[in-house]
Amino acid sequence: MRFSGEFPLTLTIAELVQGLTAGQYSSAEIVQDVLRRIEAQPGLNAFITVDRDGAEAAARMADAARARGQNAPLLGVPIAHKDIFCTAGIRTTCGSRMLTDFVAPYDATVVARLNAAGCVPVGKTNMDEFAMGSSNETSFFGPVRNPWDAQRVPGGSSGGSAAAVAARLVPAATGTDTGGSIRQPAALCGITGLKPSYGRVSRYGMIAFASSLDQAGPMAQTAEDCALLLAAMAGFDERDATALTAAVPDYQAALRSPIQGLRIGVVREHFGEGLDATVGDAMQAALREYERLGAKLVDISLPNSGHALPCYYVLAPAEASSNLARYDGVRYGYRAAEYRDLEDMYKKTRSQGFGPEVKRRIMIGTYALSAGYYDAYYLKAQRLRRLIAQDFGQAFESCDVIAGPTAPSPAFAIGAKSDPVSMYLNDIYTIPVNLAGLPAISLPAGFVEGLPVGLQLIGRYLDEARLLNVAHKFQEATDWHRRAPAGF
């Protein structure tokens, strides 16, 4: 049956599932359109690998399963995976020369669970190398371009996933968030991105950057779609020692809860110096919309949030230094073609296989962990991390969720932030959440000079259900999430 009416990829996942269930179109038809659209937009550079044969086969299997009466929650829905998740039989590059030809023999838990829920994976999206970056410019495969303005960045490190969803190439994608890498690109591309609580989603098969900070999450048009995806992704995994045993709530049911009387904490430190005034205006308008919906705004403070950036850029590089030590050219991955001896092979392999940003962070992390500097830097950063988490705990005594801007400005031009520090400042509002292990979501909340901006909502630990509910109510009252860039 050929579909008629609205082009399916303008629909949300929830709407696609309804159409598939009603027989308005098949998964095979949708996947063919997905592949056609991806091939028609090579200039975005959103994908590193497209698995046409695998996607077509999976779509046929989904249609056959539906014909037999099976009805998995996401049966037949196309999805793209950030190229940091291992996928059996398909290369996983992490956006790096070091893993250009690496093919994992197994699926990451996130991939396996979405497959079990019926999703049809179509390919792997571009990303900052080893997830280190805020603009998707550090990828060995070249920068991803923002579909709202091809001369601007999509954000990072999950920029390929964000651009693919924003351009309606796929209805959903996976991402990872170590310091804002789901939420910041979601904001810059005008989509919804959820960073779950640390441990809510298994990290097994997700190539590590900073193990105490990394967290996988969904990226889609709406909070309702993110609820569907998170329900499939979340839950205990015995193969991940950091995965939580806590039960997974019914996120779909939680969407319907009223928000009258909800207390929204507004962080005074997030509306001061460093925030683009026009972005601030858009955030204030979004907060007024919440007041109209019955919520109450509460002034709160996160006094140590200003220290989050230096704290993060000690801890994350330290963990990266340890995690990336495994890439030595001996066991797998890139190996230098010419070398004198084993030590020379190590040096040349890592010098040639890693890009400048990855090298920079390895050096910073190694320095912070070295004898004589561990107490001065790493230990102090860990103590400060605890204070940042305590600030959130105190703030939640007077509010139910915390709101503020996701990023200090709209998407900036490719090449505009050559200074690493100015690049790092783009994550100033997102990093504290990772340090505290809390859940947070970015949702479209307006436009500044034709570019989307995002509102960040932060919740209590393991309270993704409330975050999704609060975001969904905003999206029921607004249409920012429905807007797509011209030509897509």
Please give the C-alpha separations between residue 468 and each of 110, 221, 338, 440, in angstroms, as whole numbers. 19, 13, 53, 9
Instruction: Based on the residue annotation, tell me whether 442 is a catalytic residue of this protein.
Output: no
Residues with Cβ within 8 Å of residue 126, at least 6 apart in sequence: 45, 46, 47, 48, 83, 95, 136, 139, 141, 142, 144, 159, 160
The residues pairing with 431 across neighbouring beta strands, listed in sequence order, are none
H-helix or E-strand spanning residue 384: helix 380-395
Dig out the tokens for 65 from the structure: 């399963």
Phi and psi torsions of 8, nearest 5° = -55, -35
25 neighbors 1 (Cβ within 8 angstroms): yes
Q: Which of 27, 139, 157, 409 is catalytic?
A: 157
The answer to whether residue 4 is catalytic is no
Q: Are 209 and 215 in contact (CB under 8 A)?
A: no
Q: Kindly tell me the sign of the dihedral angle through the C-alpha atoms of 113, 119, 120, 126.
A: negative
Partner residues linked to 172 by β-bridges? 220
Q: Are 92 and 84 in contact (CB under 8 A)?
A: yes
Per the CB < 8 A criterion, the answer to whether 390 and 307 are in contact is no
Catalytic one among 96, 134, 135, 181? 181
3-state secondary structure of 40: helix
Strands 216-220 and 192-195: what pairing? antiparallel
Cis bond upstream, residue 305 (ω within 30): no
The half-sphere exposure of 487 on its side-chain side, counting CA atoms within 13 A, is 9
Secondary structure of 61-92 as H, E, C letters = HHHHHHHCCCCCCCCCCEEEEECCECECCEEC
Measured CA to CA in angstroms, residue 439 lies from 6, 197, 213, 308, 335 at distances of 34, 4, 12, 16, 39
Active site residue: 82, 124, 417, 473, which one? 82
**Nearest alpha carbon to residue 191 among 171, 206, 177:** 171
Active site residue 124: no
The residues carrying an active-site annotation are 82, 157, 181
